[in-house]
Every structure is written in structure tokens, then in C-alpha cells.
Amino acid sequence: MGCGDIDAGLSALEHHLVSHPSDLLALQLAHLGDLVLGRTTMLRDRIARVLGHWSENDSGYGYLLGMLDFGLEETFAFEQAEVAGRRAVQLQPHDAWAVHAVAHVCEMQGRPAKGLQWLKVPRADWRYDNGMAAHKKWHLALMQLARGEHAQALAMYDETVAPGPEVLSLNLADASSLLWRLQLRGGEPGERWTALAQRWKAQGVWGASAFVDPHAAMAFISAGDRAGLQALRQAAASAAAGPGGEALWRRLALPAIEGFAAVIEGKPVRCTELLLPLLPATQPMGSSHAQRQVLLLTALDAARRSGQQAMAAALAAEQAVHGSRVLPSRQIGTPGGANHTLTPA
Ligand SMILES: [Fe+2]
């Protein structure tokens, strides 16, 4: 399915939800479509459109709050997001999306200890052999990296993040992202890159997502797989020539792929030249702020390696501000239901 198909599907769902604001499945499909297409504000606003038609007494209201939680987090309303997420988990303890969204809040605020504590709570009735479970382990490993726990993060990779056969492309992207971030911190993934590059090749999922393709490049580049990288470049170039290719592949995915390649080729100045123009414009690639942040981390590392001290300091400051984007508490009203004071637990 291409981005155009998702776009058309979202348009149909948009009209459907105006007349059927209680259709939770349609809301979830649209929410995930907004995530894939990088429609960040719609992650919040699509839920806001229907919120007034729901009350806490309605079955499934917790799931609605879980989606609102993620939308608020992606629009930097972290305190409100966390309160909505914690309430969502109270109402639906097995809502993996709400648990995941609160983890995003901790990630963006630079609270890895809190995030680890939150993610390690055992959840009854959860299965751990699916894509969402692996994604949450990816979040957990990022928090371990933030605490300097490289060995634990690698163990988490080996146990659950390393993709098996026929996983979601986003799980492959998470695997690349984790090993790449570990490498930026001086860690050594070793032969894991070779195994991961083989998984990317076996799945052959590139050319469909401007977010996924640069992650495939990380694996081929780091594994020294020239044939894989060449096949990826050709697929990305074909995508660049197709519908939406100029905005997504030519302006974003292709420079990102070459920027990552420049790191391994020992050309950090070229890396920063390629990645810097992308940093304010990565949203259309899709996925979350936390996932796209690998571009900023790579540019920052390249600036340090190339002795661009002022640029490195500027990018480090940009990275640090994620921990301070905290908005005031307020309330979310739910006509027919309770109001929730938005103060984090
Ligand atoms: Fe996530």
C-alpha cells in the first residue's frame, strides 16, 4: 500500500467519523494512518473531533484516551498526555497503545528511569510475541542507552528487538535504529549488523516508506553490504520518480541514506551537510518524533567528529530542549462524563 492509498483511506474515514464518531475501529485505523503519513497534529485533533461524543461510561473510552495521549505527546503537551495515558491504562489495563504513549512522554522529557519503571510493570493478559511488544522493548532499550546501560540494551536487542522472519517493516527499522544509536554512543553491535542486513534483504520492504528506507541503509552500510545498499538506492530512486517522490524521497529519504553512508565512509562533514537541511522537515517521513530523532543524533555525532564545535553545541542544545517542552496542566472536558485534572502521577 502506498502513501496515496493511505491518504485516500484517511479521507474516507474522515467523513465517516463525522457521522459515526463512536466508531472506535475507524478511529484507530485513522490514527495509525496519521502516524504513517506524519500528520502529527491530526494524531491529536482527529481524537479531539470526536471526544465530545464520548463519556467515561462508554465502552472503549479508555482506548480513546490512549490515542489522545499519543496525540498530545506528539504535539508536545507532555503533562496532559501523561495524565490522559495513565487514566487510559486505569480504564483499560491491557491497552498497549496507551502504555506505549506514556513511554513516549518519558522518552521525550528525558526521564529514562521513570520510563523504565513504567515499561517494566508486568501487564496481565499481554502477549510478547508481536510487533507492538517488540516496539515497546525498543523504547525500553533506548532508555537503557540513555542511562549508559549499553550491555543491557544489547541484551534487549538480542532477546526481543532483533527481528525474526516476517516482522513488520517498522520492527526492522527499530532494530536498525537501536544498533545505530548504540554505535553512535561508541558501542559495537558486531555481527548483529550482518544478520540484520540479511533480514532486510529477505523482507525486501524498501521503496515504500521514506522513513523505513534510511533505516535499511543503516544496516547495509554498517554490514558493509554494498549490493544491498545499491539495491536500496535503486528502489529509493524509483520511488523518487513516482507519485509523491519529490517531497518524500528526493528531499528526505535519499539525502538521509547518503548522510548515513557518509558516516561509515568517514566523511562527517558531508554527513552534516546532508542531514542538517532535513532536521526541520522530517515530519512527512512519518512515525514519531522519538523515531525520527535518529537523524538529529547522527548529525550531532558527525558535527562532533568533524570538529564543528559550534554546530555540535547548537545541535546538542536542540536535543536537550526536548526535555523541557512542558506545557501547563489543564483539563479535558468530556460532555456526559467526568473531567480529568491533568496532573502527572
Ligand atoms: Fe513508539
Of the chain, the percentage scoring pLDDT greater than 70 comes to: 91
* Whether residue 175 sits in one domain with residue 142: no
Look at residue 6 in the predicted model and tell me its pLDDT.
85
- Phi, psi (rounded to 5 degrees) for 103: -60, -40
Same domain, 203 and 91: no
Mean pLDDT of the chain: 89
* 204 occurs within a structural domain: yes
The enclosing domain of 296 has a CATH number of 1.25.40
Spacing, Cα 97 to ligand 1 middle (Å) = 9
Same domain, 101 and 174: no
Answer with the one of 127, 153, 179 that is the final residue of a domain: 153
Please tell me whether residues 169 and 127 are part of one structural domain.
Answer: no
* pLDDT value of residue 228: 96
Compute, in angstroms, the gap from residue 136 CA to the centroid of ligand 1: 7
**What digits encode the pLDDT tens for the residues 288-322?**
999 999 999 999 999 999 999 999 999 998 888 76
| Residue span of the structural domain in which 87 resides | 78-153
Ligand 1 center–CA 47 separation, angstroms: 18
Is 10 part of a structural domain of the chain? no
Q: Are residues 313 and 178 in the same domain?
A: yes
Q: Is 193 a domain residue?
A: yes
SS (H, E, C) 212-252: HHHHHHHHHHHHCCHHHHHHHHHHHHHHHCCCCHHHHHHHH
Number of H helices and E strands in the chain, helices first, is 18, 2
The answer on 264 and 131 residing in a single domain is no
pLDDT of residue 336: 36
Instruction: Determine contact, residues 300/306, Cβ cutoff 8 Å.
Output: no
Q: Which long-range contacts (CB under 8 A, 24 or more apart) does 221-225 make?
A: 221/260, 221/261, 221/263, 221/264, 222/179, 222/180, 222/183, 222/189, 222/193, 222/197, 222/264, 223/193, 223/194, 223/196, 223/197, 225/194, 225/197, 225/201
Give the Å distance between the CA of 96 and the centre of ligand 1: 11
Same domain, 307 and 202: yes
**What is the Å distance from ligand 1's center to 6 Cα?**
20
- Is 337's pLDDT higher than 60? no
Task: Judge contact between 219 and 229, C-beta under 8 A.
Answer: no
In a domain, 292, yes or no: yes
Q: Would you state the pLDDT for residue 4?
A: 63
Does residue 111 carry a pLDDT above 60?
yes
At residue 341, what are phi and psi to the nearest 5 degrees?
Answer: -70, 125
Distance 2 CA to ligand 1 centre (A): 22
Q: 174 and 258 share a domain?
A: yes
Q: How far apart are CA 183 and CA 197, in angstroms?
A: 16
Please give the pLDDT value at position 124: 66
Confidence check: pLDDT of 342 > 60: no
Q: What distance in angstroms lies between residue 168's CA and the mean position of ligand 1's atoms?
A: 14
Phi, then psi, of 279 in degrees rounded to 5:
-55, -40
**Number of separate domains in the chain:** 2
User: Mapping DSSP to helix (H, G, I), strand (E, B) and coil, where does residue 331 land?
Assistant: strand
pLDDT classification of 125: cutoffs 50, 70, 90: low
Mean pLDDT for the stretch of residues 85-91: 95
Tell me the CA–centroid distance for residue 205 and ligand 1, in Å.
20
167 part of a folded domain: yes
pLDDT tens figures, 250-266: 999 999 999 999 999 99
pLDDT of amino acid 335: 35
Residue 210 confidence (pLDDT) above 50: yes
> Averaged over 31-40, what is the pLDDT?
95
- For residues 89 and 120, state if they share a domain: yes
The residue among 153, 173, 206 that closes a domain is 153
Of the chain, the percentage scoring pLDDT greater than 90 comes to: 77
DSSP 95-125: -HHHHHHHHHHHHHTT-HHHHHHHHTS--TT
pLDDT at 339: 36
User: Ligand 1 centroid to 67 CA: how many Å?
Assistant: 12
Evaluate whether residue 53 is within a structural domain. Answer: no
Residue 60 lies in a domain: no
Domain-ending residue, one of 153, 183, 207: 153
Any idea what DSSP says for residue 307?
T
In this structure, are 199 and 86 located in the same domain? no
Distance 100 CA to ligand 1 centre (A): 6
The verdict on 230 and 118 lying in the same domain is no
Give 341's strand partners.
331
Q: How confident is the model at residue 277 (pLDDT cuts 50, 70, 90)?
A: very high
Same-domain check for residues 241 and 183: yes
What's the gap in Å between 119 CA and the centre of ligand 1?
A: 12
Instruction: Compute the distance from residue 310 Cα to the ligand 1 centre, in Å.
Output: 31
Given this model, what pLDDT does residue 334 score?
A: 38
Q: Which of residues 199 and 329 earns the better pLDDT score?
A: 199
Identify the band that residue 323 occupies on the pLDDT scale cut at 50, 70 and 90: low
**Least confident residue range of 30-34, 239-243, 336-340:** 336-340
CA proximity to 48, closest of 32, 72, 76, 26: 72
Ligand 1 centroid to Cα of residue 308, in Å, is: 31
Q: Is residue 2 one of the residues assigned to a domain? A: no
Per-residue CA distances from 317 to 189, 311, 312, 320 (Å): 28, 10, 9, 5
What spacing in Å lies between the alpha carbon of 307 and ligand 1's midpoint?
33
Q: What is the pTM of this model?
A: 0.90
